[in-house]
Structure 1
Amino acid sequence: MVAIGLQAVLRIGTIRDLREEFALARVRDIRFIPLSCPLPQPYGMAKSLANARQTTLVVVETDVGVTGIGEAWGMPAVNLAYLPLVKDYLVGTHVCDVELVFARIIARHYHFGVQNQLMGAISGIDMAAKDALGQVVGLPVCQLIGGRASESVPVYASGGYITESPDEDFAPQIEAMAAAGHGAVKIKIGLGPDSDELRVKTARRILGDNVDIMVDINSNYTLDLAKASIARLAPYQIAWVEEPLTPQDIDGYELLQRASPVPIATGEALYTVFDFKRLTDRHAVDVLQPDLSLCGGFWQGRRIADLGEANHLRLSPHVWGSGIGLAAGVHFVASRSPYPHGQNAPWPTLVEYDVGENPLREALLSEPLIAVDGRIAVPTAPGLGISLDWDAVKRFMQ
């Protein structure tokens, strides 16, 4: 008979405890908490300005006492309307199995389609379930979904918003991003080719030649306008033109991608890998931009990233919500390899880092994720590696 040392016995006991806890990690309850904060000054995009920032906080409680958090994009009231449906499917499900349930939901309720708030609700639940699972097994989310490719990820500052006084308010926004030392910056355009060139010319003058500038039209143009604008902007060395056309204009994207001297990026308004496949099948895009809070969470985000990799396209997740969505984007990028690049990535995968007025981005978290020298450290704690300031949550509850 082989003697077993005390340390081995304790270790076996610990493993058994972990196995038992893991086996019991089932969804006990799901809560949606609507959050909103008014803005002192409206800002936004060419299509419209926002008077407030809002999101839906998703809380997934498990039978082992572990709670995960996520973020669902869109109008909280609409997300709340979907909650009874998704809870009916998910309560009692193991946190490892939620993706199978999501697939069952969209297959059974195919009349709903996927371009709706049902996917937003699923996205937030998937984030929260991965957060809970990471806490149960003691691993950061990035290692659950692919690995930890780096200790920090690069970001681009998203600002230069359109306001009620766009001519007066634009330059100060760019000056603030320049002072912060961001190496890549995205600005809003889309008010017309003349305005586009003026805004880009101003940004280039303030930022200098060594900062990458991306522009975002927010789907406000038709094909002819997009071509006219890009022709004016190309001499300023633009890194990409984002959402030049409406998401439905796949034909237009294909024609524009062929003609444009500037890379075309899009995807923040697309849901599931099926939407993105319509673009990649037509070779109509250069950079894929899934938003994990609406595209289907990490569940669909990984499939979209794999689709991009299979088609040799770049990836850059869209983030325009709270600090929870930012944390998800950081883990997502940290989990991806730089394929087809090796050690040297000429254009690394960037996370969008919104620098507009938004208390939900920083005040919501006990320790906000802050970009330093153009990078955000990947959290090392289990799950998403973030914790909520519940006093702040109460302040922002609708």
Structure 2
Amino acid sequence: MHKDLKIEEIVLYKVPPRWLFVKITTQSGLVGWGEPVVEGKADTVAACVEEMKPYLLGRSANEIEDIWQVLYRGGFYRGGPILMSAISGIDQALWDLKGKYLNVPVYELLGGAVRQKMKMYCWIGGDHPEVVLEQAQEKVDAGYKAVKMNATGAMEWVASVRDVKKVADNIRLIRETFGDKLDVGLDFHGRVHKPMVKRLIDELGPYDPLFIEEPVLPENNDALKHIYQYSSIPIATGERMFSRWDFKEILHQGVVDIIQPDLSHAGGISEVRRIAAMAEAYDVTLAPHCPLGPVSLAAALQVDFVSANAIIQESSLGIHYNKGFDLLDYVSNPEVFALEDGCIRLFNKPGLGVEINEEKLKEGQKIGHAWSNPIWRNDDGNFAEW
């Protein structure tokens, strides 16, 4: 064992707007950062990390793969959002440590970069037309060449004709204003049930969305075979899928064009790199989900830099969740996330490449957060997917 890579301390910071950071420190004082969190379940994931501490303390941070395998397979029950998100943050921190120890960016340890820059997109409001153009213009002015917005608000299992017709208003406004100069992804957000998906595609198709995301909930992925054959619009999904085993079936069935594993939910850098390689074998592209903080984004970019099938990367900068605190507020080197011609350039700093301001985290921890997603109901009082 490298004595200076022996894990000596693991500390968690729960900070606004809705994030959880893990700091892993080795015997020599080297520090690695990760983001182990499920949005709305930060305390639950923190408890899971605490349960893993006894196994991690005293281990060499160099043994990333063995640690990953034991954390995943060492318990009788495997997978799911809580366990995999806890593993994700730990895995990110271990890669950060190894890169810093060897003085190279993580992508060098994964085989080296295949690109010099990564195309980015940011979220804009899609629930209400009145904010769409304003927010889209803000992103264009900031240098983005692509945005994503919600395709619908709350949606009945079988919606009225009136509600269906309203769905296309937002993307129509953007196309009329920006033409084809702005790529627009549409996130169905799992809000739409199978009976409505094809009707909505009929309405949205003429406005040429870049992709349709989560047209159905992941538990209904068997419906993708009907949707996939119906439309030429690329289908994206995967933010609520947590391991290569979750992605295996949809890749085998050929019902997805873009997979979106989240670096803070799907097993971290180690597992998402494996998922990306699996997808490449099926000629499927990668666009990691990332509505979280700077460590999660840096980890996603490290995978993007080495994955030939990565096409675009989500960033949470300015997202509506980040009230009072945003992506760069806990970062000492925000320039690494600077946008140039719609892209972020290849990092050159060791590890994940992002420097976390721990003093800011300590300030944020005093505030904390109790974020949870809203509970929506349809007009009749029945629960509606958010």
Q: Which residue of 1 is the match for residue 319 of structure 2?
A: 356
CA distance, structure 2, for counterparts of residue 170 and residue 213 of structure 1:
12
The aligned runs of 1:182-221 (5 Å cut-off) are 182-191=144-153, 192-221=163-192
Give the AA of the match of 2:354.
Answer: I
SS at structure 2 position matched to 1:30: strand
Q: Is the 8 A contact 1:35 1:76 kept in 2?
A: no
Question: Scaled by the length of structure 1, what TM-score is found?
Answer: 0.83
Q: Which residue of 1 is the match for residue 116 of structure 2?
A: 151
CA distance, structure 2, for counterparts of residue 237 and residue 161 of structure 1:
16
CA distance, structure 2, for counterparts of residue 356 and residue 207 of structure 1:
21
Identity of aligned residues (%): 28
* Superposition deviation, residue 393 in structure 1: 1.2
Q: Which residue of 2 is the match for residue 110 of structure 1?
A: 76
CA distance, structure 2, for counterparts of residue 379 and residue 180 of structure 1:
20
CA distance, structure 2, for counterparts of residue 213 and residue 80 of structure 1:
35
Q: Which residue of 2 is the match for residue 392 of structure 1?
A: 360
Structure 1: 4+ residue segments shifted above 3 A: none
SS at structure 1 position matched to 2:149: strand
* Superposition deviation, residue 153 in structure 1: 1.4
Q: Deviations over 1:153-173 (max 9, x none)?
A: 1112222343xxx24322211
1:63 to 27, 32, 49: 27
Q: Is the 8 A contact 2:116 2:345 kept in 1?
A: yes
SS at structure 2 position matched to 1:114: coil
Q: Is the 8 A contact 2:123 2:319 kept in 1?
A: yes
Give the AA of the match of 1:96.
Answer: N
The aligned runs of 1:199-348 (5 Å cut-off) are 199-338=170-309
CA distance, structure 2, for counterparts of residue 145 and residue 237 of structure 1:
35
* Superposition deviation, residue 307 in structure 1: 0.7
2:343 is the alignment partner of 1:378: no
Larger Cα-atom Rg: 1
Give the AA of the match of 1:63.
Answer: Q
* Superposition deviation, residue 181 in structure 1: 3.6
Give the AA of the match of 2:125.
Answer: G
Give the AA of the match of 1:287.
Answer: I
CA distance, structure 2, for counterparts of residue 270 and residue 287 of structure 1:
13
Q: Is the 8 A contact 1:147 1:336 kept in 2?
A: no
Q: Is the 8 A contact 1:174 1:206 kept in 2?
A: no
CA distance, structure 1, for counterparts of residue 180 and residue 50 of structure 2:
52
SS at structure 1 position matched to 2:167: helix
* Superposition deviation, residue 202 in structure 1: 1.1
Q: Which residue of 2 is the match for residue 7 of structure 1?
A: none
SS at structure 1 position matched to 2:210: strand
Q: Deviations over 1:110-162 (max 9, x none)?
A: 33x31131111110010011001100011101111231223321112222343
The aligned runs of 1:114-133 (5 Å cut-off) are 114-133=79-98
Evaluate the alpha carbon distance shift between residue 187 and residue 26 of structure 1 in structure 2; reply closer, same or farther with a 3 A threshold: same
Moved more, 182-191 or 281-290: 182-191
CA distance, structure 2, for counterparts of residue 370 and residue 248 of structure 1:
37
CA distance, structure 1, for counterparts of residue 29 and residue 362 of structure 2:
22
* Superposition deviation, residue 263 in structure 1: 0.8
Question: What do you get for the CA RMSD once the two structures are aligned?
Answer: 1.8
CA distance, structure 1, for counterparts of residue 14 and residue 167 of structure 2:
35
* Superposition deviation, residue 386 in structure 1: 1.5
SS at structure 1 position matched to 2:265: coil
CA distance, structure 2, for counterparts of residue 325 and residue 104 of structure 1:
22
Q: Which is bigger in relative contact order (C-alpha 8 A, separation at least 6)?
A: 2
Give the AA of the match of 2:84.
Answer: M
CA distance, structure 1, for counterparts of residue 72 and residue 329 of structure 2:
34
Task: Show structure 1 runs of 5+ residues with no match.
Answer: 1-19, 37-52, 339-347
SS at structure 2 position matched to 1:238: coil
1:31 to 8, 11, 36: 11
CA distance, structure 1, for counterparts of residue 61 and residue 135 of structure 2:
42
Give the AA of the match of 1:234.
Answer: G
Residue correspondences, number? 349
* Superposition deviation, residue 23 in structure 1: 5.4
* Superposition deviation, residue 385 in structure 1: 1.5
SS at structure 1 position matched to 2:168: helix
* Superposition deviation, residue 274 in structure 1: 0.6
Q: Deviations over 1:76-99 (max 9, x none)?
A: 211221123211222222223233
* Superposition deviation, residue 333 in structure 1: 0.5
SS at structure 1 position matched to 2:65: helix
Task: Show structure 2 runs of 5+ residues with no match.
Answer: 154-162, 369-386
Q: Deviations over 1:6-60 (max 9, x none)?
A: xxxxxxxxxxxxxx9x454122222221111xxxxxxxxxxxxxxxx31110111
SS at structure 1 position matched to 2:218: coil
Question: Scaled by the length of structure 2, what TM-score is found?
Answer: 0.86
